[in-house]
Structure 1
Amino acid sequence: MKRTTLNYWTDAFAFIGFLCLTTSGILLRYQLPPGSGRIDSMGGGRQAQEKAVSVLWGLTRHEWGDIHYYLALGLMAILAFHLFLHWKWIVCVTRGKPVEGSGYRLGLGVIGLLAVILLSAAPLFSPSIQVPRSTFLNETVEDSLIEQDGSAIRGDMTLEQVEAQTKVPANYILEQLGLAPTTSPQERLGPLKRQYGFQMEDVRRIISEYEAP
């Protein structure tokens, strides 16, 4: 294959990969945002089976996330091949004309390239840490959107506190959400929401539809 043809197809595939990566990113941000539903984190029971899961072309947010990831890997491979094809040109432009100081300029270019590579790869080699879920409670505004009889039910409230405020038994809320009955009433709504994938709207509906025996 001629070099010109190879460059043409490399650039074409890079552009297609860029478009697909951008589209999938926008899709994950706006059409299937966090909280759209993940099948394997909804618990069990009939209530969990009736929960809505947003899908696009038959794929959930989690599956579109996998596609986004592999698109990123593919685009990175294409761009690496593109750099390989133009490596001599890159070196020549970085070095400049063969005059005094051109070697110094090339050295700075190599150092800059290594710095960019190391900086971009740094998260891959940085260890993750474990933090309490409660540290995220104040970062999510939607956790405080439930209103019942004029009293706000916040994500930092425990199931026990919700029961005391609304007179709806914590065990009943757990059952309707499809969570394990062994879940402690001391658990807070915010962390439970993130762990099991239910929405705060579900809690509002359960409380409003509850009829005391």
Structure 2
Amino acid sequence: MDARRIARAAESAKNGDLVVYPTETVYGLGADALSETAVERVFEVKGRPRDDPVSFGVASVERAAEYTRPTEREVEFMEAFLPGPVTVVVEAGGAVPEALTAGRDRVGIRIPDHPVARDLLREAGPLTATSANRSGTGSARTVDEIDGSVRTACGAVLDVGELPGTESTVVDVSAGTIHRRGALADRIATWIERD
């Protein structure tokens, strides 16, 4: 994808707009993850209940550590599985808005294994990492599958064609819990149980 399109999308997100971006699983809905106002807009556009947290997308494990407080074991896990189709729940740092975590002290970290997503995250900084769909409907593998109300609410849409569609596995390494089974779930379960 043209670097200028990614740069324009990053600028759009920095200005408070929502952005649709591809991941290695499904299309995501991004907004400035450090802005309470932008995060609230994600909930509004998705029709998502405010008590259902949204994940925190970053470009690298190092960037994740700037905003969160992962344990040594969580860092080891992230280095083994990220970037990839995995969301890792860790302790949130003070800069992470409560709107994102639904008032909890932990946040899901997502580092997508898609070059467009990582380029966008490098340029824009942390973005929300939630599927680009209305709550209660299926995740979108193509931009055409995204509800029109979600697309029109966005300042930019980065369309790379059809995506695989398998959602990320959500895991709390410290608790040894897989909250949602998705891609790599069996490998993740084996890693968690190894000690």
Structure with greater contact order relative to length (CA < 8 Å, sep ≥ 6): 2
Fold match (TM-score > 0.5): no
Richer in helix (by share): 1
> What TM-score does the superposition give when structure 1 sets the normalisation length?
0.20
Please say which structure displays the higher CA radius of gyration.
1
TM-score by length of 2: 0.22
Determine which structure has the larger strand proportion and give its number.
Answer: 2
